C-alpha cells in the first residue's frame, strides 16, 4: 500500500502534513505532550502573544454546551519576553514549524511583536490576530474600521502600509 504524500506548502512554509493546531486552543504545545506526539503535527500555532503578559477575562471563561463548548478566554498570554525565554526553547526542539499568533492595540505594537519574532529562528511564521471577539472591545479591529487589515498587517511583513 502506498502512503499518500501529505506535504503542503503554505506561502513558502513547508509542512509535513496539513494538520495544525488552532491558535488560542493549544497553549504553547507543552501542555499537550502527554496526549499527542507533537512531532506528528504539520505545524504548531501558539496562543496569541502580546507585548506584555495579559490575564484575560475573569472566570468563568469556559462553558460546556450540549454541542461542545464556548470560551471567552480573553487573550490570556505570557507576553513576548516570557514566550521567547520560557516557551520557545521547548518548541524549537520539535519537528513541526512554529507559527506565532500576535495581537496588539496599535499598528506599532504589531510591528514590534513581528520584529521581535523575526529574530527567533524557531518561529517560521506569524499569524496576525485582528479580530478576537472575546475581549472588552469586541472584534473592533476588523469590524469597525474599514480597510484596516492591510494597514495593520503590512508592518508585520516588513512592507510599507497600503493607504
Residues noted as catalytic: 132
Burial 48-60 (b: 16+ CB within 10 A, else e): bbbbeebeebeee
1, burial (CB in 10 Å: exposed 0-12, middle 13-18, buried 19+): exposed
User: Rounded distance, CA 30 to CA 23, Å?
Assistant: 14
The grid coordinates listed for 39 are 512531532
User: Rounded distance, CA 136 to CA 42, Å?
Assistant: 33
User: Rounded distance, CA 94 to CA 38, Å?
Assistant: 7
Beta bridge partners of 7: none
Amino acid at each position: 500500500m502506498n502512503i499518500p504524500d501529505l506535504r503542503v506548502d503554505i506561502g513558502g512554509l513547508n509542512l509535513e502534513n496539513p494538520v495544525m493546531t488552532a491558535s488560542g486552543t493549544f497553549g504553547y504545545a507543552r501542555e499537550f505532550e502527554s496526549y499527542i506526539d507533537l512531532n506528528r503535527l504539520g505545524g504548531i500555532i501558539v496562543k496569541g502573544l502580546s507585548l506584555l503578559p495579559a490575564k484575560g477575562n475573569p472566570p468563568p471563561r469556559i462553558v460546556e454546551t450540549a454541542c461542545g463548548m464556548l470560551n471567552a478566554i480573553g487573550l490570556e498570554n505570557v507576553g513576548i519576553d516570557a514566550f521567547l525565554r520560557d516557551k520557545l526553547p521547548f518548541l524549537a526542539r520539535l519537528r513541526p514549524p512554529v507559527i506565532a499568533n500576535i495581537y496588539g492595540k496599535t499598528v506599532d505594537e504589531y510591528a514590534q511583536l513581528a520584529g521581535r519574532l523575526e529574530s527567533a529562528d524557531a518561529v517560521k511564521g506569524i499569524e496576525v490576530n485582528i479580530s478576537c471577539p472575546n475581549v472588552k472591545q469586541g472584534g473592533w479591529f476588523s469590524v469597525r474600521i474599514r480597510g484596516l487589515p492591510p494597514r495593520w498587517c503590512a508592518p508585520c511583513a516588513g512592507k510599507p502600509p497600503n493607504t
